[in-house]
Structure 1
Amino acid sequence: MANRSGEFYFELTGFPGIPAKFDILFSFAMFIVYNISLVSNGSVMVLIIMKEKLHEPLYIMIANLSFSNLFFDTVTLPKFIAKYWIDGGRISFLECIIQAYFGHFLAGLDPFILMLMAFDRYVAICKPLRYSSIVTHRATMVACGMFWLLVALVTLMNLLILKHPFCGPNKILSLFCNTSTLLRLACDDVNPTREAILTYGLVLLLLTLSFIILSYAIIILSIISLNYSKGWRRALSTCTSHWIVMTLFYVPRLFVYIANYVRLVLSPDFNVFLILLYSYLPHLANPLIYCLRTEEIKRTVANIFKKKFGT
């Protein structure tokens, strides 16, 4: 391949080791995943935007998380599904770079929103009397906006890949374009770029994870000090659901980053499985965990159904 973006294409492989007879089944499964994400995250966004009573800090954070998840799925999944349905697995160099940028941008945004939500739970449980003065509507909007802008700018670091020539092969061993898979296809020394991007990713994940762990550690200590069982159960139930999302998001992602950093060779199929695990499973779980377990949203949904069906 000549290194000219308009003249060559990459080919998305998905699971390179999957037998061809399972292609349609796998693509249909991903189609279902995308549609569930589209309906669930889209419904959450519309519900929070349309219902004024949900214009509160926590729901603003949830709406930002839902939009980020839906945007990521829309950037990555339709092209991959098209590979099997209309033989659309070819992706141009420019399309691949754009997809990789937005993929890293949106994946990098999620930990900041999760960190903000952990801070919200910390204030709500540990400083309930000061919650309305600390976590305000304006402060939440400003914080979310700053995180979107900050991550968008920092993710520009991934464009360092543009300085490398690509001379084949052109197989992307993944569901979508990302920097780590593209760097494997470059035909010069990519170690400085690779280490810079991996270091940035690890620092981002570890910093946000450290803040989240600290927040929940303080919350646990506060819960332990509660003298009434109802407060204990309610606070613990809220935190447990959040911990599930954190585990789904952070554990496989950190494993992949550390494996790449220490140059541990993972099989292509296992690597794609991990990408599936940390990229899409949290997006399916978020609406269920953050919304259906939130009393105000459950009441709002119940009221909508009562008005709709007259029950």
Structure 2
Amino acid sequence: MDNRSAISELVLLGFPGIGEKFHAPVSIALFLVYLTSLFSNGVVIALITCNRHLYQPMYVVILNLAISDLLFDTITLPKIVAKYWFNDGSISYAGCLFQVFSAHFLGSFDSYILLLMAVDRYVAICKPLRYPSIINNRRTILVCCFFWLFTSIIGVTIAVLDSGERLCVQEVRSCYCTNSGVLSLACNDVTSLKRTIFIIAMLVLLLPLFIILFSYGVLIRVIITQSQSVNRRRAYYTCATQLSVICLYFIPRIFVYVANQLKLILNEDVNVLILCFYTFVPHMANPIIYCLRTKEIRRTFKSLIQRWILMKNPRIPAVNVITSSEHL
């Protein structure tokens, strides 16, 4: 038992039940997911950091969300793609614990950033005259810094709790190391530890979700009272798209935690698919839903395209460049 518990290297299985003929499509899909997240979040980070007129509270929050999502995908996706492409699924025990820390640290951070975005929209729509005094850059940066610190403590706590367990199995039946994935390899009974982490997870997920749903409920009530149907439809569409991403992030996570706590038997591949779905799809959708659809970002993107076209073709009149960019 002592020899088996001294495991220094683990193996990521990805989707453990699929045949080899599906390895290439799965790996290509995961690679494209990473490229999409890398490009979209990278564009958001570049646009916001390189333009001072975007130094506004809402864009500061979006910038933090994009950094978090990009870090998460960079820490998790390249390793599982390497497993399918180069048959290199091995990961050190320390590296696995780092993925556990990152998953719960950055996942919790996303929860609180989505909460902050909902609060920002609530104040902007329901208390527009008081918005500058309630929401400003300095206060937003301080809150974001607090969330980085607070959620890192959550990640460290879960990683330290997992590190105290002896492991008897090396195969992690997932695309990256999670708390449930590591605890399933433990030699001893970890029921009490799972219950403790379940309570932490519910506090991290349910509290922000309750406040987010409350704020959007108030926003929808305000939208209903608007007299102009055009503004009403536009606001409904915005709320619906944002709520869809929020539900995609929170509801599957809560379902998986509750299912593990109740010991509901799920197909391993279905479980991994749900994990990938609620983890990586929001990371691709967030830049589009929260940032690239806004007028300021589109205007900034158009101006960058104009500059690029003028640099490549200095003989083209600026008027023609501006006219052509209006169709983007």
The 2-side partners of 1:81 and 1:230 are apart by 45
Partner of 2:270 in structure 1?
Answer: 270
The 1-side partners of 2:115 and 2:58 are apart by 12
Cα drift, residue 234 of structure 1: 3.4
The one-letter code matched in structure 2 to 1:103 is A
From 2, 5, 13, the equivalent of 1:3 is: 5
Cα drift, residue 261 of structure 1: 1.7
Partner of 1:228 in structure 2?
Answer: 228
The one-letter code matched in structure 2 to 1:235 is A
Partner of 1:98 in structure 2?
Answer: 98
Q: Which runs of 5+ in 1 are unaligned?
A: none
Q: Which runs of 5+ in 2 are unaligned?
A: 311-320, 322-328
Q: SS of the residue aligned with 2:5? A: coil
Q: SS of the residue aligned with 2:91? A: strand
Pick which of 233-242 and 136-145 moved more: 233-242
**8 Å contact from structure 1 (residues 125, 235) kept in 2:** no
The 2-side partners of 1:119 and 1:69 are apart by 20
**8 Å contact from structure 1 (residues 157, 197) kept in 2:** no
Which deviations, in whole Å up to 9, do the C-alpha atoms of 1:90-143 show, x marking residues without a partner?
A: 111111111111111111110100000000000111111111111100110001
Is 1:175 aligned to residue 175 of structure 2?
yes
Which deviations, in whole Å up to 9, do the C-alpha atoms of 1:180-212 show, x marking residues without a partner?
A: 011111011211111101111012111010000
Q: SS of the residue aligned with 2:106? A: helix
Within 5 A, what are the aligned runs for 1:229-308? 229-308=229-308
The one-letter code matched in structure 2 to 1:64 is N
Partner of 2:37 in structure 1?
Answer: 37
The 2-side partners of 1:123 and 1:223 are apart by 14
The 1-side partners of 2:108 and 2:88 are apart by 27
Cα drift, residue 65 of structure 1: 0.5
Within 5 A, what are the aligned runs for 1:178-197? 178-197=178-197
The 2-side partners of 1:232 and 1:126 are apart by 15
The 2-side partners of 1:213 and 1:173 are apart by 33
Q: SS of the residue aligned with 2:4? A: coil
The 1-side partners of 2:231 and 2:12 are apart by 50
Q: Please, what is the CA RMSD of the aligned residues?
A: 1.3
The 1-side partners of 2:37 and 2:26 are apart by 17
The one-letter code matched in structure 2 to 1:164 is E
The 1-side partners of 2:25 and 2:224 are apart by 48
Cα drift, residue 248 of structure 1: 1.5
Cα drift, residue 287 of structure 1: 1.0
**8 Å contact from structure 1 (residues 69, 283) kept in 2:** yes
Structure with max Cα Rg: 2
Which deviations, in whole Å up to 9, do the C-alpha atoms of 1:44-79 show, x marking residues without a partner?
A: 011100100111000011110000000000010111
The 1-side partners of 2:155 and 2:12 are apart by 22
**8 Å contact from structure 1 (residues 13, 174) kept in 2:** yes
Within 5 A, what are the aligned runs for 1:21-36? 21-36=21-36
Cα drift, residue 21 of structure 1: 1.4
The one-letter code matched in structure 2 to 1:246 is I
Q: SS of the residue aligned with 1:11? A: strand
Partner of 2:51 in structure 1?
Answer: 51
Cα drift, residue 236 of structure 1: 2.3
**8 Å contact from structure 1 (residues 58, 120) kept in 2:** yes
Cα drift, residue 230 of structure 1: 3.7
Partner of 2:207 in structure 1?
Answer: 207
Partner of 1:163 in structure 2?
Answer: 164
Cα drift, residue 25 of structure 1: 2.0
**8 Å contact from structure 2 (residues 44, 292) kept in 1:** no
Cα drift, residue 298 of structure 1: 0.9
The 1-side partners of 2:241 and 2:131 are apart by 21
Q: How many residues align?
A: 308
